[in-house]
Amino acid sequence: MAVKKLVYYPGDEARLRALSKPVPHVRNKKLRQLIQDLKDTLESQPGAAIAAPQIGALKRVTVVKFGQNEDEDEQPMLALINPQILATGEDEPGFDGCLSIPNIYSWDTPRPVWIEFKALGEDGRAITRRVEGMDARMLHHEIDHLDGILFIDRLRDPEELYTPVEGANGKTKMIRLKDLPHLTKENR
C-alpha cells in the first residue's frame, strides 16, 4: 500500500507502450496490493482515473471515479479488472489529459459517446455497465493504457495540444504547444 511513482511520457515511453496481461486470479494478495497502490496513487493526483501500467504494472487493471459528467457527483474509486468493451456509440472529439503526460491537454481526441463494458470488481463479481460522456471517454482512455495506446496517438490533428500558461492578468489560459513563445516567428 503506497503512493507509487508515475510512469511518464516520453521518458518511460517503452513501459507505457507495452501490452498489459489479463489478471488470471482475482482473489490474490498481489492483486489486492496493486489495487490499493492504484487507489493510493490516484488519491495523490489531480486525475479521475489511473491504469496499472502508469505505475509500472503490466496488468489489465484500472481504477476509475465515474460521475464525471456535469450535474453528476463524483463516485468513489472503482477498481475494474480485465475490463472489456462490449459495445460503443459513435466517436466524438473531446477532452483528454493524462497523468503520465502532465500539463498537456487536448479537445481533439475522438472517443465513443457511450460504452457498454464488462469487468470484474475487486470482490470478484462481474460488473456490466453502460457509461456515457466523460465517463465513457475516461474508461476508453484507461483501456487504451492497457493496450499501450496514449491519447496523443488518437488526435485528429497532432498539433491540437495545449498547455496552461499564466497570462499577464494572472489568469491561466491554454495555449497551443506549437504557439509557445519561442516557437513563434516574432521571437525567432
The residues, ordered by sequence, that sit 6+ positions from 86 with a Cβ below 8 Å of its Cβ are 116, 117, 118, 128
Question: Smaller CB distance to Zn ion: residue 26 or 58?
Answer: 58
Catalytic residue among 92, 116, 132, 142: 142
* Cell numbers at 112, concatenated: 465513443
Residue 81 Cβ vs Zn ion, minimum distance, rounded to whole Å:
18
> Can you give the binding site for Zn ion, defined by CB under 5 A?
98
* Annotation marks residue 159 as catalytic: no
Question: Which CB atom, from 80 or from 98, has the smaller least distance to Zn ion?
Answer: 98
Instruction: Compute the least distance from the CB of residue 174 to Zn ion, in Å.
Output: 18
Question: Between 164 and 167, whose beta carbon lies closer to Zn ion?
Answer: 164
Rounded-to-integer distance, Cα 19 and Cα 34, Å: 17
Which residue, judged by CB position, is nearest to Zn ion in the bound state?
Answer: 98
At closest approach, how far in Å is the CB of 49 from Zn ion? 8
The dihedral region occupied by 138, where left means phi > 0, alpha psi between -120 and 50, and beta the remainder, is alpha
Q: Specify whether the CB–CB gap between 65 and 49 falls below 8 A.
A: yes
Looking at the Cβ atoms of 98 and 134, the one nearer to Zn ion is 98
Alpha-carbon span 159 to 174, nearest angstrom: 14
Nearest approach, Cβ of residue 144 and Zn ion (Å): 8
| CB neighbours of residue 164 within 10 Å | 12
| Residues designated as active site | 142
